[in-house]
Amino acid sequence: MSGHLTAGGRRYRIHPVGAPDRLPYSLRIMLENLLRHGAPAAQVAALTGWQPRGARTEAVDLHPARVFLHDTNGVPALADLAAMRDAMAALGGDPERVNPAVPAELVVDHSIIADVFGRPDALARNAELEYERNAERYRFLRWGQASLRDFTVVPPGKGIMHQINVEHLARVVMCRDDEAYPDLCLGTDSHTTMVNGLGTLGWGIGGIEAEAAMLGQSVSILVPDVVGVRLHGELPVAATATDLVLTLTELLRAHGVVGKIVEFHGPGVTALPVTDRVTISNMSPEFGSTAALFPIDAETVRYLRFTGRSGEHADLVEAYARAQGLWHDPGAPPAYTADLCLDLATIVPSVAGPRRPQDRVPLEGVKAAFRGQERPPAPASGEITHGSVAIAAITSCTNTSNPSVMIAAGLLARNAVRRGLRARPWVKTTLSPGSRVVMDYYGQAGLTSALERLGFTLAGFGCMTCIGASGPLVEEVSKAVAEHDLDVAAVLSGNRNFEGRIQPEVRSNYLASPPLVVAYALAGTVDVDLTTEPLGTGADGRPVYLRELWPSPQEVRAVIEEVIRPEMFARAYAGVLDGDERWRSLDVPGSATYPWDPGSTYVRRAPYLDGMSPEPPPVTDITGARVLVKLGDFITTDHISPAGAVLPSSPAGRYLTGLGVPRHRLNTYASRRGNHEVMMRGAFANVRLRNHLAAGAEGGLTPDFLDGGRITSVYEAALAYQAASVPAVILAGEGYGAGSSRDWAAKGPALLGVKAVIAKSFERIHRSNLVGMGVLPLQFLPGEGADELGLTGRESITVTGLAALGGPGVPPALTVTAGGVTFQARLRLDTPREADYYRHGGILPYVLRRLLRGEGPATPPDAPAAGCPGSHGKDAT
């Protein structure tokens, strides 16, 4: 059934939802998607009949309106598509059938490293180094842009993907051929949820799943629980949006929202600007939720107009939301699985750390919390000691998208300079905003020079410190850490602070608002109570306290209203798809299949599809497996597949140096994700990984049970098992695979021969990625685990019952025998589609076999017709 809507004098086709009033907003968007794509009646009924506290056994198949990627996951995704074209040709098909069927947008933002800082030429020098390291990858991306239809690339230096999405790319309501429908945006980064703050439903999916979605496959998801969070009251004078999001992260992690959607409602939402909302939604992965939606309202429409979207498009968004029941009514919330409430007046200044985003610490308690941790004795003398701030970074789309905290940081810096304060010399200070608009309004407000005086010179427009591209520490700090085993700290305005992520030499990492980042750079240590102790001594010889420098909300608001103008966004995003001369001068192959360079150390054709048969082989049991690693709770994708620097002493480092790559050009794992040889060697290579099979050691070490238990690298042990045709399994605790949605956290283990992961619980995206690579996720039954069952990890393991997957059903559990212990484990193939993926050995062979049978789309949808209002998106005219 279809209908029509008139907005701004134009007529659009729509698919009326007619959703029950009690249905949460996010499920109304999903329902429209099912109706528009002609989903089976049972799936439609699963949403229209949704009960707040009902059983969650039904899955729905959604079709994203667009797929969103960054270069870290986008390069391997493109490499997989290129490999699929090769495999299609080898099997006698047309390689150009492997082509995006929905708009795919990639932003290059994950490759720039903060090598140079605190200098006027930092931006230019870091950009030069970025191109020196990544020219191969960028040439490959340009091939994809030229060879694949409906594949858009935003070149380096434009900003961070999520901030660009919110400020420019997001449509909220899409328009193609005069048909209007919600902008369901699925991305290869878990922080795709940032766009939820703009009223757009979207979440992070694995790069493997994104490839299938790009090729027209639906994304299967269990009908979720939806948790409502009612906000009311107003933030106190000293609190920021960052403090609010850290409090929400703590609250929602404690409540438990993994696999659920969070929706914010109530009078407090109405008072929050979009910039605060997107700060909150950005950290949905840190809550653990699938998405964190703020419904569309007048503030949404105002923000669209302010950031340069056309008036016609803003009118369409409002008219569509009102017609389809997507307009926020703060007085009539839907029915929710659980109802939480937060009074904004209770928020206090806070940081989170030292290792997890949900571990909030009130600012007044940071010193005591830091001192409460066990660590070796500090050196007898020296300025650099335990707690010294080694990195202070204003970074990440989470906070640099929010003018209130960015202006506050600039005003605090100005006040500090006026008092004669400077950042401590051992602190590496960097400024890497997610949008060029930030530097425009800093310039207009006259705050750039104050930040630069404190060392916060623009280092680049990209993720940088937040993803571990923080570069080397100040040399004296690095030496002191090595000589005295110091626990030094990083303070960053980011969203992730997992072990080993920010910088290998830094153990304690704290998330904080941008003004607090500046404050800790001035203090030079986290071993201080900033609420009572001075930041330093002013030029007049008197102590200077944080409370004396902190700008009032009224002052911040006045500066924002005075300096930030819509034309800044128009100027920043004019020609956003045009790169600089370096980008445009890259030579681009013009072939339908990619001419792989066998000597490349960045882009290699992965072997997933080598020798693939037209039909899938039968599913068999896993017999005689050995445990590759036995891990504890909350093992993140950073532990499994690190993103930081490739260390010369690591298996990946030795591989690259053996090929003649100089040590200073090893680059990061994130930049080399197009090379499976590097990423296989990087699996479980995090320097802070604790494998219980190699007790007392940190890093990627494990025993080789085929060699008497000799301790070796995880990579070398895995090779030995593969050579002997011995499958590998992983044992883990709660929350396995938390963190970023890294495809290589599944691809790496799969290439190392891992056939199953048996864990107490899985983070949503990583479990999906494992299935996508043909790795079986098994979950211990409640109250059980490796330790509870007495498993040492040295047992031979067999998993039986898999033959049942050869039929139409999915068994609820499988039998696992480990040594003399036999137990049942829940089979986490949560949807029929996931069972299909596993039968085929993963998403890629599943999709390729469908394309060979003519079941997938051969061409992308028609180009947009005239009449759809401009909204900056690829579908706009």
Q: What percent of the chain has pLDDT over 90?
A: 81
Indicate if the pLDDT at residue 868 is higher than 80: no
Q: What is the mean pLDDT of residues 504-530?
A: 97
**pLDDT tens per residue across span 623-680:** 999 999 999 999 999 899 987 789 999 999 999 999 999 998 898 888 898 999 999 9
**226-232, strands of its sheet edge to edge:** 291-293, 261-265, 226-232, 338-343
Is it the case that residue 738 has pLDDT exceeding 60?
yes
pLDDT > 60? residue 48: yes
Average pLDDT, the chain: 93
Looking at residue 507, its pLDDT comes to 95
- Domains 360-564 and 622-638+690-840 alike in fold: no
pLDDT at 1: 63
Number of H helices, E strands in the chain: 31, 32
Tokens of 705: 């049970």
Residue 845 half-sphere exposure, CB side, CA atoms within 13 Å? 22
Segment 179-195 mean pLDDT: 95
CATH class given for the domain over 360-564: alpha beta
**pLDDT (0 to 100) of residue 857:** 56
Looking at the domain covering 622-638+690-840, what would its CATH class be? Answer: alpha beta
- What DSSP letter does each residue of 521-533 carry, written as one string? HHH-BSSS-TTTS
More confident residue, 505 or 867: 505
Calculate mean pLDDT across residues 352-357: 95
| Residue 875 binned pLDDT confidence (cut-offs 50, 70, 90) | very low
- Please report, rounded to a whole number, the percentage of residues in the chain having pLDDT higher than 70: 97
d(CA 228, CA 7): 31
Domain range summary for the chain, segments of one domain joined by +: 360-564, 622-638+690-840, 642-682
**Cβ(762)–Cβ(741) below 8 Å:** no
pLDDT value of residue 695:
86
Three-class SS state of 281: helix
The more confidently predicted of residues 379 and 221 is 221
pLDDT exceeds 70 at position 535: yes
Tens-place pLDDT, residues 570-625: 999 998 998 899 999 998 888 999 999 999 999 999 898 988 999 999 999 999 99
Alpha helix positions (H), 197-349? 207-214, 241-255, 267-271, 274-282, 284-287, 298-306, 311-323
Q: How far apart are CA 209 and CA 187, in angstroms?
A: 10
| DSSP string for residues in 812-847 | SEEEEEETTEEEEEEE---SHHHHHHHHHTSHHHHH
pLDDT of residue 209: 85
Cis amide bond preceding 20, omega within 30: no
**Sequence-distant (≥ 6) Cβ neighbours of residue 396 within 8 angstroms:** 160, 434, 463, 465, 466, 492, 493, 494, 495
Residue 766: its pLDDT value, please?
92
**Cα separation, 840 vs 845, whole angstroms:** 6
Radius of gyration of the chain from Cα atoms? Answer: 26
State the amino acid at position 726 in one-letter form. Answer: V
Amino acid 871: pLDDT: 63
Q: How confident is the model at residue 863 (pLDDT cuts 50, 70, 90)?
A: very low
- Taking 70 as the threshold, does the pLDDT of residue 859 lie above it? no
Does the global pTM surpass 0.75? yes
- For the stretch 332-342, pLDDT in tens is 999 999 999 99
pLDDT of residue 872: 56
pLDDT digits (tens, 9 = 90+) for 783-841: 999 999 999 999 999 999 999 998 888 999 999 999 999 999 999 998 888 999 999 99
Q: Is the per-residue pLDDT at 454 higher than 80?
A: yes
Q: How do strand 10-14 and strand 3-7 relate by DSSP bridges?
A: antiparallel
